[in-house]
Structure formats: C-alpha cells, structure tokens
Amino acid sequence: MDLPKLAIASLGGTVSMQAQAAGEGVVPTISGATLLASVPELTTQAHVTVETLGMLPSASLDFEFLWSVLCWANYQIEQGAVGIVITQGTDTLEETATFFDLLWDHDEPLVLTGAMRSATEAGADGPGNLLDACRVGLTKSSRQRGVQVVMNGQIHSAQAVRKTDSMALQAFSSPIVGPTGLLMEGCVHYLRPTLQRNVLPLPMQTTQKVALLQASLSADTLLLENILTLGYDGLVIAGFGAGHLSETWTASVDAIAKKIPVIIATRCGSGSTARSTYGFKGGEMDLIRRGASMAGFVCPRKARILLWLLIGCRRQDDLARYLKEDVWFQQP
C-alpha cells in the first residue's frame, strides 16, 4: 500500500550534537539523515523526506531563518506531506513553536521536538523524541491542532508549553493546563479535543523591533527611558507578580504607551496577570489606565513574538483580542 508522506527538517540543537574531541564540549554536527537513521522503523510507517536546514544552537535562530523554515514547511504540504516534523535545540523551542503556530494555516500538523541529551551521551533521548514526534505527525487525530511540541512522551500545545528546567529530561511542561496528549506503547492519545485557532496572515514587514525587559528589585530606568529613542516599535515587560511595576518604571510607561504598544506580562513562570485587583501606582489597574495591555497567561517571551508578528501584519490594534484568555487557553 502507499505510505503517507512525512517531511522532517533538522535545524541543529542538542539533538544533533556530539563532541569533536574529548573535553571540548558538544556542537551541532549530525545531519537530518543521520538522525533519521537512528529510527529505522519509520521507513515502514511513512515515505520520509528529510533535509538539514541548519546546524545551529537554538539560541542563534532568528525570525528571518524561521521564516525560511516556514516556507520550506509550506512547500512540503503542497507536495503532499501529511505532517511536518522539525528538530531543533530546546533553549528556544517554546518561542519557535509560538512563531510557527501563529502563522501555520494548514490542517496538517507541524510538530517540533529536540533532545536534552546529546547524541553520543548515555541515554540520549533524541531518537525516542523524534520517533514520537513522527508518530504525532502521522496520526489523523493530530490534524487541526496547529503546532505542537513533543518531548519525553508528552504532547504540548505551542501556546501553553514552556521549558521549565534547564537540563532535566522532563524539561518541558504546560503550566496550568497540562499536556494535550501522551504517547503510550507507540500510540498517540489526546486528552482534549481540537479547538478553534487564530492564525495571522504573513507579515508585510520584518524590520520591526520589540524589546523585552524584566522588572527587578530596585532596577534603574535607563533602558526603559530610551526605548523610544532607540527606535523600538513595541515593548514587553516581564513584571512582578500579577503584572506589576515599581513607581519609577510606571512613570516611564506613560510616555511609551502613547507612542508604541506596551504589554505587561508576569515574570513568575506560571499563572496570569491580573486586571482588576490591585489599584496601587504600578498595579495592573493603574498600568491599564496608562495604556498598557496585560498579557494574561501569555508568557513574556511569547508575548514579544505575538507583538512582533502583529506589528508586521499591521494588526497591532488587534492585540487585546489575541491576549484574551479564551483565545490562548480555550476549554472544550
């Protein structure tokens, strides 16, 4: 019988790394074809196309490169692929997933995966994660779910997933909502039904700049005061607690929010910003009155990507709609 077509792209990252010499540390060296050879059973499940699009640690990925990867993925769908799998480093995996998910307008799944252990390390998790990701990409129930991250036997939606541990195998989780599915005995099991997605058109410009600053105890305002002078088109602040700033930072937000979009997120790692609880100067009610938008459950890093894309699409006026909780964390 005819096997379904599956397209795999390798971008680099730990999953592709090995040491060139003892004591020198691991670097990206392993091609997509070599990664594919580590999971030979895939050849009995799909007709696989694999390409090495990069050999980069994920900290060095940028929007321009991801744009080219998106174009490659779109072309593979046009050529009949039923799913796309991309391997990359885990350091920016949650951000890459968000970038793709906001632009992925196909029913076919796009699945991201990587590894926490290098290819030559004992107990390397790359082959298992790749096989799991391919199983998700080939499963019909993965359709209309947008972009997902598969790591350590779990399936996470792009909106919710975060890297919450720097080196552990169980580095990825979805705070508050949990994974969307699990892989057990080689089978994909979804825990929630498909939900309506909000996809942006492709950006008309890519030169916009969005700054991300983090509030901290007794922090000075020098960078904040110069955001407009430096030519930034948007600003995201990882605020204290439920989205709060010091009084000195709050004074600067006034002038900035009159000129460019400002989003206040929480730096906590889990939970939402508030909207109508705290009334002190620098509390979320005060910041909203000054023109800032509250990120809700959207983490600061993902809020920056969302704002960058909205500005590129000239839809920054729609920011409030994309930050609504029922858009990012719908319930069945």
More confident residue, 119 or 21: 119
Burial of 274-304, coded b for 16+ CB within 10 Å and e otherwise, reads beeebeeebbbbbbbebbbbbbbbbbbbbbb
pLDDT of residue 13: 94
Active site residue ranges:
14
What is the distance between the alpha carbons of residues 319 and 312, in angstroms, rounded to a whole number? 12
Give all domains of the chain, ordered by start, each with its CATH number. 5-190 (3.40.50.1170), 210-328 (3.40.50.40)
Mean local confidence (pLDDT), 293-316: 97
pLDDT of residue 203: 94
Residue 328 reports pLDDT greater than 60 = no
The angle subtended at Cα 268 by Cα 227 and Cα 58, nearest 5°, is 70
Residue 326 reports pLDDT greater than 80 = no
Residue 330 reports pLDDT greater than 80 = no
Judge whether 17 and 29 are in contact, CB under 8 Å: yes
pLDDT band, very low/low/confident/very high, at 329 (cuts 50, 70, 90)? low
What does pLDDT average to over the chain? 95
Judge whether 7 and 85 are in contact, CB under 8 Å: yes
Mean local confidence (pLDDT), 281-287: 98
Q: What is the pLDDT of residues 225-252, one digit of tens each?
A: 999 999 999 999 999 999 999 999 999 9
Residue 327 reports pLDDT greater than 60 = no
pLDDT band, very low/low/confident/very high, at 198 (cuts 50, 70, 90)? confident
pLDDT of residue 331: 44
The angle subtended at Cα 55 by Cα 302 and Cα 99, nearest 5°, is 20
Q: How many CB atoms lie within 10 A of CB 131?
A: 21
Q: What is the pLDDT of residues 169-196, one digit of tens each?
A: 999 999 999 999 999 999 999 999 998 8
What is the distance between the alpha carbons of residues 96 and 104, in angstroms, rounded to a whole number? 12
What is the 3-state secondary structure of 132-155? HHHHHHHCHHHCCCCEEEEECCEE
Please, where are the H alpha helices in 139-283? 222-225, 247-257
Q: What is the pLDDT of residues 60-119, one digit of tens each?
A: 999 999 999 999 999 999 999 999 999 999 999 999 999 999 999 999 999 999 999 999
Mean local confidence (pLDDT), 20-34: 88
Residue 28 reports pLDDT greater than 80 = yes
| Percent of the chain whose pLDDT exceeds 70 | 97
pLDDT band, very low/low/confident/very high, at 151 (cuts 50, 70, 90)? very high
In DSSP terms, which residues pair with 111 in a beta bridge? 85, 148
Identity of the amino acid at 259: K
pLDDT of residue 50: 97
pLDDT of residue 220: 96
pLDDT of residue 332: 40
User: For 239, phi and psi rounded to 5 degrees?
Assistant: -90, 175
What is the distance between the alpha carbons of residues 263 and 54, in angstroms, rounded to a whole number? 32
Token pair 């800032």: residue? 292
pLDDT band, very low/low/confident/very high, at 325 (cuts 50, 70, 90)? low
Tokens in use for 231? Answer: 């030519």
Judge whether 285 and 276 are in contact, CB under 8 Å: yes
Strands in the chain per DSSP E: 5-12, 17-19, 26-28, 47-56, 81-87, 110-113, 147-151, 154-157, 162-163, 172-173, 181-184, 187-190, 210-214, 234-239, 262-266, 293-294
